[in-house]
């Protein structure tokens, strides 16, 4: 390789001696610049240095191939230099005037990588300089790149197919689901042995105990899936054990109680906001979460009012704290007050915040009394109450739009979107619950399917409740709840107590129990 480079330099020196006019001087400069800026020379020197280092046999073979390519490139460069020298001699022999440098153009330094101004051809009909030809050849011929340069340009990742995405989702989700199942199965049998407590409470307690210990992050996706999707699926399965006419009747009977508790929660949260001076978004989220459906209502409302992540986390922690307390205490309080099955179902469905805790308290009551009346009533009332998330979020969206418009006119803030999205807000699992009730009321009897199938699907829904409660317990961080602060907790307590009291008062006034 060095021998080739010496030959190039020798030819350049000979051409410089033979030149007699300014045109020949320009050709010599072009030849020297071509030698310095040639990518083939850089490749040759780079591969020579790599070849001098001890490497593995595989790497040595790669470098040998690259050196061979560089040798061929050097020979081509020498030929191009000779051709450039011959081209430079033609103007002198034919008597054509030489092209002189423009005085206004400053001469670049010798070590500059940019081509000098005298590398341009003397006329438009002459070929480009050797340096320009080499650069064009480098960009057009990827075979001249070294192995290192080729490995530095990785191929674009191909789009995953359907089966790859499914497999990736399974790998992320299955481990956490398995952990919840390992908690749900013993909790189910413990609940059968101790009906006063029930499987749901056992699952929550076991999950909360395990949550004290650090767990791998790769379990979180499956736990979140179980706490949301499995819980919604359990409600749908409960619909297979209900009559559609009963669903409509109970929903209508509870409408007045639901409206009373929603109004109470929003009013109390506003009063506590004024007294405690808590952030407005936290007060709104706690009031909406307490009155409608807990975490789901908070998740649907937070983008509408543009709540911060910290405000959402604080509100969900407060709501969840009283959800867990209600799941433990409501059955005992109901028995102490002498409630009937329908009365307790109505009370639990209207006074407990989150759907998960409603079904947990209903199942605990059902385990104590030996029938599912309270569980069915609590589920129907809660789902009817959940539908209130649509008008509430829509009203908040309109209010935010009005506030943004006023702020824009005052010049204090820019008007923006409200973030209301009906598709995201609507609780679609309620529709599937109604479809299941319709199937159980008309389709199953029409095709001759007996009650044993309905009982099996309903029992599967109860087991899935314990399944979801295990995930709820695993997601309970008692330390984080304590760090939330006393003002939001006091606000949540006030809303919870007032809702429970109003629900009982309206039921007594209506003579429901």
> Domain spans of the chain?
1-83+127-137, 168-387+427-510
Contact 166, 213 (CB under 8 A): no
Six-digit token string for 199 = 């499987």
User: Helix (H) and strand (E) counts for the chain?
Assistant: 25, 0
pLDDT tens series, the chain, 513 aa: 556 566 756 666 665 555 545 545 554 554 455 445 444 445 445 544 554 454 444 555 555 555 556 555 556 655 565 555 555 444 433 444 444 444 444 444 444 444 444 444 443 434 444 344 444 444 444 444 444 444 444 555 567 788 888 998 899 999 999 999 999 999 999 888 877 677 887 888 898 889 888 889 999 999 989 988 888 888 889 889 888 888 888 888 888 899 999 999 999 999 999 999 888 888 999 999 898 878 778 877 877 788 886 787 788 778 888 888 888 899 999 999 999 999 999 999 999 988 888 988 998 898 888 888 898 899 889 888 888 877 887 788 788 778 777 777 776 544 455 555 666 667 788 788 889 989 989 988 888 887 888 889 988 988 988 888 888 888 877 777 677 678 889 999 999 999 999 999 998 888 876
- Phi-psi bin for 411: left (phi > 0), alpha (psi -120 to 50), beta? left
What is the rounded CA–CA span in Å between residue 216 and residue 489?
Answer: 29
| Backbone phi and psi for residue 106, each to the nearest 5 degrees, phi listed first | -70, 145
Q: How far is the C-alpha of 221 from the C-alpha of 368, rounded, in Å?
A: 34
- Answering whether pTM is above 0.85, one says no
Angle at 438 between CA 434 and CA 441, to 5 degrees: 135
Can you say whether the dihedral through the CA atoms of 41, 47, 52, 53 is positive or negative?
positive
10 Å Cβ neighbour count for 90? 12
Listed in sequence order, the residues at least 6 apart from 294 whose beta carbon sits closer than 8 Å to its beta carbon are: 319, 320, 323, 353, 354, 355, 356, 357
Burial state string for 302-311 with b = 16 or more CB within 10 A and e = fewer than 16: bbbbebeeeb
């Amino acid at each position: 390789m060095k021998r080739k480079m010496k030959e190039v330099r020798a030819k350049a020196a000979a051409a410089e001696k033979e030149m007699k006019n300014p045109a020949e001087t320009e050709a010599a400069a072009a030849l020297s610049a071509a030698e310095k800026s040639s990518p083939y020379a850089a490749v040759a020197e780079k591969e020579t240095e790599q070849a001098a280092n001890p490497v593995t046999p595989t790497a040595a073979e790669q470098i040998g191939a690259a050196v061979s390519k560089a040798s061929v490139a050097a020979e081509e460069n020498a030929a191009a230099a000779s051709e450039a020298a011959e081209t430079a001699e033609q103007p002198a022999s034919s008597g054509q005037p030489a092209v002189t440098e423009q005085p206004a153009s400053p001469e670049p330094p010798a070590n500059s990588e940019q081509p000098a101004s005298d590398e341009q051809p003397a006329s438009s009909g002459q070929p480009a300089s050797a340096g320009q030809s080499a650069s064009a050849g480098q960009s057009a011929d990827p075979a001249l790149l070294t192995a290192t340069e080729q490995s530095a340009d990785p191929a674009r990742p191909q789009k995953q197919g359907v089966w790859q995405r499914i497999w990736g989702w399974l790998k992320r989700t299955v481990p956490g689901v398995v952990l919840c199942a390992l908690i749900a199965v013993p909790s189910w049998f413990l609940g059968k042995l101790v009906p006063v407590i029930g499987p749901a409470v056992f699952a929550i307690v076991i999950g909360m105990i395990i949550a004290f210990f650090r767990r791998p992050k790769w379990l979180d996706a499956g736990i979140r899936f179980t706490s949301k999707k499995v819980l919604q699926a359990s409600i749908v399965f409960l619909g297979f054990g209900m009559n559609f006419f009963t669903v409509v009747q109970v929903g209508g009977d509870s409408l007045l109680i639901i409206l009373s508790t929603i109004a109470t929660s929003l009013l109390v949260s506003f009063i506590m906001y004024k007294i405690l001076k808590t952030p407005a978004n936290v007060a709104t989220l706690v009031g909406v979460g307490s009155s409608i459906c807990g975490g789901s209502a908070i998740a649907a409302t937070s983008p509408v009012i543009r709540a911060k992540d910290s405000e959402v986390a604080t509100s969900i922690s407060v709501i969840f704290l009283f959800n867990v307390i209600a799941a433990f205490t409501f059955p005992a309080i109901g028995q102490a007050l002498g409630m009937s099955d329908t009365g307790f179902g109505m009370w639990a469905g209207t006074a407990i915040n989150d759907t998960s805790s409603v079904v947990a308290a209903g199942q605990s009551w059902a385990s104590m009394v030996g029938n599912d009346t309270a569980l069915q009533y609590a589920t129907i009332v809660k789902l009817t109450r959940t539908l209130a998330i649509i008008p509430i979020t829509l009203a908040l969206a309109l209010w935010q739009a009005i506030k943004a418009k006023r702020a824009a006119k005052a010049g204090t803030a820019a008007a923006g979107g409200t973030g209301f999205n009906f598709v995201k807000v609507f609780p679609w699992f309620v529709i599937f619950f109604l479809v299941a009730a319709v199937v159980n009321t008309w389709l199953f009897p029409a095709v001759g399917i007996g009650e044993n199938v309905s009982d099996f699907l309903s029992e599967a829904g109860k087991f899935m409740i314990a399944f979801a409660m295990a995930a709820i317990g695993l997601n309970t961080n008692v330390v984080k709840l304590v760090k939330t602060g006393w003002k939001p907790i006091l606000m949540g307590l006030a809303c919870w107590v007032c809702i429970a009291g109003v629900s009982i008062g309206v039921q007594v006034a209506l003579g429901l129990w």
